[in-house]
Structure 1
Amino acid sequence: MTDSLLDGFERPLRELCTVEALRRIEAGESADALWAGIDALGYTDALVPARFDGAGLSLADMHPLFFAAGRAGLNLPFAQTAVARALLASAGHEPGRGCIVIAPAAGADGDAVVCHDVQDAALAKFVLVSRAGEWLLLPRVAAAFTPGAYRPKLSADTLRWESAQHAVARFPVQGADGEAICNALQATAMAGTMARVTDLTVLYANDRKQFGRAIGKFQAVQQDVAVLASQAATAEMGSRIGCAGTGFLPDPLLAASAMLRACEAALRVAAISHAVHGAIGMTDEHELGLFTRRLHEARSGGAQVRCAAVLGRAALAERGPVVDFVRTQLAAVTAAA
């Protein structure tokens, strides 16, 4: 079933997410046409439980599609919209057809709602915010928008609503961890992006010739590409673990593990890919920067530190060897899933 889902998604995705289309959106053009094409495929409702007329798929079922979206460079919150629609439908709310980004709220600031480092926020119609034990569905246009450093026309450094009264829907969290959801989905998107960077790097190493032969034939370059590929592969495996389970909500510890691995791998993948490409990889004309910017943006918001803290606190609470913590709290959960 997963192969059938992926085949039906990847082919139109490649046609929709051309490099030219991605560049136009990165430059500030409307993404409405791209979103209409993505939403028309029907996969954004796949996580909605069957009792609410959805497909009732699990996060693990949808992982290959979320990974493929990252690999294609889709700069719209497809995965987050799918989870948000499942949450809204489960709470009895009509999710609508617009794209939705999920973000945990920052610390208390009176009645104001503040979210930091929200990727692709400028492209979303709504933001589903987890705050003080409840979800708030807030219109993105009602927020004060501070652009992000890496992609200022797409992502937000800060979103701020002066009052929670802007919410068009409110419902209890009911066991859903906003930070865990973001970690699992972001790790999967990053893993897909790293797979694309690997493809670009291998292609360039085989095409670029120096001293009469492809640079990919030189042992030093082969070593770098091997390290890059191994880092990307471990990020993909981590993202699979982060999405493991039978429902549409991730386990917080597995999601933190996935995001931590993705952040660690992203730094090396981006550095090695640009080293192999040389100066050409830094130019606007080359597509490599479209993907490495996303990697740097994803790891720059402090997620790596927060995930390490989540895992560290859980490991310390076990009061035993780390290997026992991994075996009982991580590997055991994965096996059960």
Structure 2
Amino acid sequence: MKLWQSLTGIAALIFCGTSLVFTVQLWVSMPAGLGGQLVAGATAVALELCKFSFAPLGLWLCSQGQKSGYALLCLWPLLVLISIVATVGFLATHSEEQQQRSTRNSQEYQALQQQLNSLQQQINTLNGLINTDANNGYRQRALNTAAQLSTLETERTQLIEKLSTIEQAPSTHSAFNSLAGTLKADPAKVQHIGFLVLAIITDIVGLVALLAFNAAATVVKRATKPLQQPETVETQPLHTAHLNEEQQQLAQRISVGEFGPKPVMRNIIKDLRLRYETVNPVFKALQQAGTLNKNGRGYFLASQGGLPNG
């Protein structure tokens, strides 16, 4: 196998494996329970395997004249589309989680979080003082403390809103930010288009590489296969090519002498419970091929010689 064939096969495995992992991880992340995740993962694997096999299998079935091949070829683009959407969803979800972690680790977010924790401690302390003063009869002091508590609670609400705004702010990867700045476009849209392009490359290029590697391997196999001598008329008569599978098998059995050197059509029809319309074309085809000779109403194998039955 040549180097470029090996490289194509390796690339096909990497692309197809990446697409499989992306799709499975996205499907597994949707259900909550372990059972649902297992079912979702198995479904995703089955869809990916069908995506890889439907195109070559459909083409092969079509070449064999099977209509089911057209159904597979019609379903294949739908499976590719599902895989592309799953890849885009996985990339978007993973990028969003990464940006959220980066935001929460930023200095601004950490400073606001510390202020919020400090305010919460002060609020808890004031609540304790208010309860103590109320229980001891210091009603006025409890009211004054309650006013301070209200101010702190307002500040806490403002901090929570600010933190929520930072977390919910649309964030994009730095690479897409740079590209968006160059194109003067919305970074979020540029990122979405970028994920879509990456998904298409991952799925389509992987499938094309897989088909190319399979085709190259088939060509190499045919090129290295030793030439065989053409089959003789006795083993594969050309005149029997139009017969169906059942008739082909019957012709082979007659040719090898399974029904004797002088096969009788009516006996074969009776013993095998076949119809005259099935057996008669076999005898005619074997006669045209030279496997059977006819004398009157009887037949005998040409390779056996002798006279036919009367």
Question: If the length of structure 1 is used for normalisation, what is the TM-score?
Answer: 0.24
Higher percent of residues as helix: 2
Question: If the length of structure 2 is used for normalisation, what is the TM-score?
Answer: 0.26
Higher percent of residues as strand: 1
